[in-house]
Structure 1
């Protein structure tokens, strides 16, 4: 840990750190003043309840007077600090008045501890506990710049020296007391600077993390913009190539040329699929807030399944199993349809034509659960941890040779998390896979 015993933190962080700790200091003044005032009120009540016994106690008149002084002065700090906290929150500006309040309260607290120690024995050396508690409480609770700490140390020493002359003790006792005070004030200085250094390090780390996060967000936004532009600009030439291939198909072609044209079209379809996935990823990264509406999920899933049944190349039987006739959730229809389409497409891709695909809908106590279950190839155990990674190495060809972009399941997870849900997978090779979506209950 970098220490700042005889200097301040770097200028880059100084202004922000000072504003941060000054507000904390002001709050500490308010709380400490309330506690100190409460303790003195309790002592005053003891004076009233046990007046007979206490009036005969040693140095009672001095304790009585100082107690009244503390009760009279402390509310001033409570009121002023409370006012300054409210003003600071409104204007977010530091003034000399705030610094003065904090310094004066610390001097007041140390003086109160010293006065109590002196009144107890008229020789501080014999009873330093209250003085010790006061200076080390200030050192730990309050943060000061190097100059302020040094000034507070010197002022405390001046007050201590003046108090020694009040005690009317000989020069030897004065020397002993000064040595003890010098030792305690050295401890106060270094403890105060250590507390300053420790919290400064914590503050600097938080600022640096915040700056790094901002840089990452900007880099991510730039990446998404570039990705979106590149993907969008690729659509036109690929679309043109596909159109030319379709025009060529209108003519009579020999077998070799027809095969080449077919491969061109298939490649264009594959490229467009990748581009669409890239654009979807970029859009999802850019959209922090997802517009949702409260929908009945049985109806939504039924419509999606019906659209799949009308596809000529789909031979699998897709079945919806629901635990209740009506289950509501807040979803974005377009995005959520993309999720279900991707999961059903995956289930069909890795299943034989005779295998069913089940869509299970269930309302639990804490969430809504949607399962897409197939009885196909399953996912190898070593691939499961990477199944939702972007451009995942877990991408494989389907049972009929279908290719994968490695983006589909990453997009699914992205959209589900935008709905404040989560997705998980269970799979066993040659027995099938189950993708389970959990969504929060709709209000």
Structure 2
């Protein structure tokens, strides 16, 4: 632009840019809307991108020519145009070759337009070949990179669809299990209870008790499976303000009804409130207390500790039983965890209980952690937001 004799060319190209660039912008917006609706591209879109690439390259090329009349002295804009197109646009191999050929033809035509001598034309052609070779290599590199990324996206979407279908099938199976197995289990348990109404000897009573315990275990497994499916995609639940001292005493009383007298509450604060869904949180406490009793001797106490730290309610379930091996601790909250073990009396584990506990606590905007030492016991620590 420092040369006054080239001002008319600059003025002419600026008017072209002002007229043509909005057309490409509008066309791009229209095609993007079509893509969002149809999820497919057509030949017009390919031609549109190809035309845009030619437009940008020619703009840079012509600017390089008219700035000094010699492209060797001012190739910056031309080089930038090539780099932008090689990075932004994705071309198939045949399209890229055609673009290179057209670019070289236009470059040669501009040299004739500039009345370059034979020597200058030879040097300029060599420079153009170097630039176009770099353009080719960069374009192919980004093509392979974007193609690989695109295939990964397609594969991820396909896997997500398969996972969703598997999840739906799982929920259907669990629903069938709940419907088809609860009734037979309930019938067996009812018959066992009817047998107790008659006078039976000690051996028969032991068998009846074993039947009732087996039915209770089977119901527990069903409840775990259904709860795992139910809580899988639930992040928001309905809660109410609950005074925790009274609530935890109610939980302990329900265990005393089951002849479990060694569950005690040790509270350091009263009153203290939290937002709870009573039904779901009771399942949390029952699961943690059940685990504590399962791995403790009958003479050992299971302690519920209640405290407050700042804006957090702290609930701890502590036992003095066999503890958890250190290598199992990182896996105990996993679904179908391999950390599941049989209790001191041979009670079986589904590996689901603690994963359900973690889901429910997180839906209450809380956290759960564990500390344990083999032979000394285990402490589960729940933190929940306190409310006034």
TM-score (normalizing by structure 2): 0.83
2:171 maps to which of 224, 235, 247: 224
2:78 corresponds to: 131
What is the distance in 1 between the residues matched to 2:136 and 2:165? 43
* Change beyond 3 A, Cα 1:243–1:72: same
1:333 maps to which of 278, 293, 304: 278
1:384 maps to which of 300, 307, 329: 329
* Change beyond 3 A, Cα 1:129–1:90: closer
Residue 113, structure 1, aligned to residue 57, structure 2: no
CA contact (8 A) 2:72 2:127 kept: yes
Alignment of 1:267-306 (within 5 A): 267-285=214-232, 287-296=233-242, 298=244, 301-302=247-248, 304-306=250-252
What is the distance in 2 between the residues matched to 1:215 and 1:112? 48
Residue 198 of structure 1: how far off its partner (Å): 1.0
1:346 corresponds to: 291
* Change beyond 3 A, Cα 1:319–1:441: closer
Residue 61, structure 1, aligned to residue 5, structure 2: yes
Q: Please list the CA deviations of residues 243-275 of structure 1 after superposition, one character each: whole Å capped at 9, or x if unmatched.
A: 222233333334433333332232222222222
1:253 corresponds to: 200
1:143 corresponds to: 90
Q: Please list the CA deviations of residues 83-124 of structure 1 after superposition, one character each: whole Å capped at 9, or x if unmatched.
A: 445545655356887666644443333223223332344333
CA contact (8 A) 1:362 1:368 kept: yes
What is the distance in 1 between the residues matched to 2:268 and 2:27? 61
Residue 197 of structure 1: how far off its partner (Å): 2.0
Q: Please list the CA deviations of residues 318-366 of structure 1 after superposition, one character each: whole Å capped at 9, or x if unmatched.
A: 215355734433x43322221122112323444454535123243545x
1:192 corresponds to: 139
* Change beyond 3 A, Cα 1:254–1:313: closer
Structure 2 gap segments, 5+ residues each: none
1:425 corresponds to: 370
CA contact (8 A) 1:378 1:428 kept: yes
CA contact (8 A) 1:413 1:423 kept: yes
Residue 199 of structure 1: how far off its partner (Å): 0.8
Residue 200 of structure 1: how far off its partner (Å): 1.5
CA contact (8 A) 1:358 1:374 kept: no
1:403 maps to which of 344, 347, 357: 347
CA contact (8 A) 1:232 1:275 kept: no
Residue 290 of structure 1: how far off its partner (Å): 3.9
Number of matched residues?
A: 382
1:201 corresponds to: 148
CA contact (8 A) 1:355 1:374 kept: yes
Alignment of 1:300-319 (within 5 A): 301-302=247-248, 304-308=250-254, 310-319=256-265
Structure 1 gap segments, 5+ residues each: 1-53
* Change beyond 3 A, Cα 1:168–1:213: same
Q: Please list the CA deviations of residues 380-439 of structure 1 after superposition, one character each: whole Å capped at 9, or x if unmatched.
A: 32332332244444444545x261423322321232344454322111234332212244
CA contact (8 A) 2:289 2:302 kept: no
Residue 227 of structure 1: how far off its partner (Å): 3.0
* Change beyond 3 A, Cα 1:324–1:120: farther
**Aligned-CA RMSD value:** 3.3
What is the distance in 2 between the residues matched to 1:263 and 1:356? 25
What is the distance in 2 between the residues matched to 1:210 and 1:417? 27
What is the distance in 2 between the residues matched to 1:207 and 1:186? 31
CA contact (8 A) 1:118 1:127 kept: yes
